[in-house]
Amino acid sequence: MKTPNRIDTKFETLRAAGQCGFIAYITAGDPDLKTTPALVAALEQSGVDIVELGIPFSDPLADGATIQAASGRAIDAGATVAGVLDAVREIRRSSEIPIVFFTYLNPVYVYGFDRFHADAAAAGADGLLILDLPPDEAARNAELMKSHGLLSIRLIAPTTPPERMELIAKSAEGFIYYVSREGVTGEQTSLSADIATQVAEIKKHTSLPVAVGFGISTPEQAAEVAKESDAVVVGSAIVRRIGEYGKSAELIQKVAQFVSPIAAAVKKAAA
């Protein structure tokens, strides 16, 4: 019997409770790999439902300055794909929180596409979002379709036309990540005005949950998005605080203090 994926199970639990999910992104290995499991534990204790772990890469084109800097810090601290997998194994010693790898094709392909999927699944990852591998490109190469049980998370952007939404949705698993604004990752002072309209359009093409991210950085913004989506994604704002506190003894506490009010706002908004 196939073991249920942690991502699917989490969204089923949230749906049954009438709650919106909270997804947090951090760059694995920032400030170093030994701290990553502690940060994930703090996120979970603060109310995060799913963790996105970014695999450090030297040329993260879809990311803004904050996450680019985090990748640089992680690489400088010695982070490797193998090291990130080891960090996930360590997380799995004490936690069942769903984990999605957020990455670019290059690190995965250099590691070995099939080998990466097999090793990531064995380590305890649940999903994979490759930012620069469109589903139609993956479908042209059998090697790029092997998953070993990792769910293929797909991105939809504000500029994605309905016919392409349908194509992307057909190959998506776990949830759809809706990028709520054009451009790269990063905190924003205001939200896009058409999130509700775009989420409704996406839902015409899929029954999967829709998570909304890019630019959300405050409890107020998160609560607003939670009313229109199945999950809220916060990344750069958390990563910025990791950068600020680095290897300080206060790092874990400061991240938890920042994340907890956002998690509470997401849950309250959807209740």
- Tens of pLDDT along the chain (271 residues) come to 567 899 999 999 999 999 999 999 999 999 999 999 999 999 999 999 999 999 999 988 878 899 999 999 999 999 999 999 999 999 999 999 999 999 999 999 999 999 999 999 999 999 999 999 888 776 666 666 567 889 999 999 988 999 999 999 998 999 999 998 644 444 445 566 689 999 999 999 999 999 999 889 999 999 999 999 999 999 999 999 999 999 999 999 999 999 999 999 999 997 5
d(CA 161, CA 202): 10
Looking at residue 190, the DSSP 8-state letter turns out to be S
pLDDT at res. 3: 77
DSSP tally for the chain: helices H, then strands E: 12, 9
Are the beta carbons of 213 and 191 closer than 8 angstroms? no
> Which two structure tokens, joined as six digits, stand for 261?
């009010």
User: What contacts 81, CB < 8 A, 6 or more positions away?
Assistant: 55, 107, 108, 110, 111, 116
The angle at the Cα of 160, spanning 65 to 54, to the nearest 5 degrees, equals 35
The angle at the Cα of 99, spanning 97 to 101, to the nearest 5 degrees, equals 170
CA pseudo-torsion sign 119, 123, 129, 132: negative
Alpha helices, DSSP H only, in 77-188?
Answer: 81-91, 105-111, 113-123, 135-138, 162-171
Task: Give residue 18's region: left, alpha or beta (phi > 0; psi -120 to 50).
Answer: left
> Which two structure tokens, joined as six digits, stand for 236?
């750069």
Task: Say which amino acid occupies 163.
Answer: E
Sheet containing 154-156: give its strands across: 151-152, 127-130, 99-103, 50-54, 21-27, 231-234, 210-213, 176-179, 154-156
Per the listing, tokens 């904050």 go with: 66
Domains and CATH numbers, the chain: 6-270 (3.20.20.70)
Does residue 83 sit in helix, strand or coil?
A: helix
C-alpha pair distances (Å), 45 with each of 42, 145, 220:
5, 34, 21
pLDDT at res. 148: 84
Active centre residues (catalytic):
52, 63
> ω into residue 219 within 30 of 0, thus cis?
no
Task: Residue 191: name the closest of 165, 217, 229 by CA.
Answer: 217
> Which two structure tokens, joined as six digits, stand for 214?
């890019």
Q: Which phi and psi (to 5°) does residue 100 adopt?
A: -115, 130
> Which two structure tokens, joined as six digits, stand for 91?
């997380």
